[in-house]
Amino acid sequence: MPLPDQPHAPHLLGIEPLPLSRIEAILDRAAQFQRQPPPRTLAGKRLLLLFYEASTRTRTSFEVAARRLGAETVSVTPGSSSIEKGESLLDTVYTLRAMAIDGIVVRHSSSGAPHLVAAHVDVPVINAGDGMHEHPTQALLDAFTIRRHRGTIAGLRVAIIGDVLHSRVARSNLLLLSRLGAEVRLCGPRTLLPPEFAAYGDHVRLSWDLEDALNGADVVMVLRIQMERMKESFFPSEAEYVARYSVTPARMRAARPDAIVMHPGPMIRGVEISAEVADSPQSVIREQVENGVLIRMAVLHELLVCHEPHP
């Protein structure tokens, strides 16, 4: 039987509906957790990790974050659950809700899946990536990483390169970084960068030319080609993609000498980024992973502690 609909439970479903005050509070909390060891504010709570799509970084990062705050985690993934037997998303959620869950983290290949869950449960729901739509904690950890290196985001030139069309990371980042005052340059082959993307943010600019996008950039964010979301051919061949869009040391010369290089992972070396750039002193790719834990701790603390209903 469906649980009562409680639309007022706090959630993190995307960057789009997130007020600036909540964004700032999450970034500040993550910085605070970095300065001093976080308190075990989630002791006695149980977090459900419901991952319908493959994940290495995001799932383990939520797991580590939850445990560092003292919570217990229950992980459900296809192959180890009735998800494979065809149980519907909501039936799975209702079953697991019966086990006294205090929050749910959802990753799903369908855009909007976490929103559906949120409309049917009375606990906070966090979107850990829904189809081609949003990946809010990734954008928050990226913003946090940029701030650590540059102090601010306003006025920076951020180039986001590659398969923008299929990337929830690109969408959440362009919403967040343009809201925080960055100039966001989206770059990729025409088929992976439709002109409509210009309408996504106030300071968004499209370019099909890599050198133009990298020119004077402060931040270079490289995306993976999301083959799993492509039903048709979007570019002639991998070799052609590499020839025009792979981020190499020679191409990085167009960016500012102190530009930082980011990638959400998983990264395909030799395709969207060369190994030299990925391992260069400018690369903050490993630091993004560390910061992911801090941001997820901040988000869990915000949703499960700050919004706790008072008796």
**Residue 68 or 166: which CB sits closer to ligand NCD?**
166
Q: Which residue in the set 11, 68, 133, 135 belongs to the binding site for ligand NCD (CB under 6 A)?
A: 135
Which parts of 71-220 fold into alpha helices (H)?
89-97, 113-118, 136-150, 168-179, 210-214
Q: Which residue in the set 46, 57, 67, 148 belongs to the binding site for ligand NCD (CB under 6 A)?
A: 57
The torsion angles phi and psi of 183, rounded to 5 degrees, stand at: -90, 120
Q: How far is the CB of 170 from ligand NCD (least distance, A)?
A: 9
Question: By CB under 6 A, is residue 169 in contact with ligand NCD?
Answer: yes
Peptide bond into 266 cis (omega under 30): yes
Judged by CB under 6 A, the chain residues 264 through 303 that form the site for ligand NCD are 264-265
Of 226, 208, 229, 230, the closest CA to residue 159 belongs to 208
Q: What is residue 245's DSSP assignment?
A: H
| 276-294: burial string, b at 16+ Cβ within 10 Å, e else | ebbeeebbbbebbbebbbb
Question: By CB under 6 A, is residue 112 in contact with ligand NCD?
Answer: no
**Residue 83 or 268: which CB sits closer to ligand NCD?**
268
**Residue 102 or 260: which CB sits closer to ligand NCD?**
260
Judged by CB under 6 A, the chain residues 195 through 234 that form the site for ligand NCD are 224, 226
Question: By CB under 6 A, is residue 58 in contact with ligand NCD?
Answer: yes
Question: By CB under 6 A, is residue 263 in contact with ligand NCD?
Answer: no
Neighbouring-strand partners of residue 161: 187, 222
Torsion (CA) 7, 9, 14, 18 in degrees, nearest 10: 100
Q: Which residue in the set 11, 59, 68, 168 belongs to the binding site for ligand NCD (CB under 6 A)?
A: 168
**Residue 167 or 274: which CB sits closer to ligand NCD?**
167
Is residue 207 within 8 Å of 154, Cβ to Cβ?
A: no
The number of residues that bind ligand NCD (CB under 6 A) is 11
Binding site for ligand NCD (CB under 6 A): 57-58, 129, 135, 138, 168-169, 224, 226, 264-265
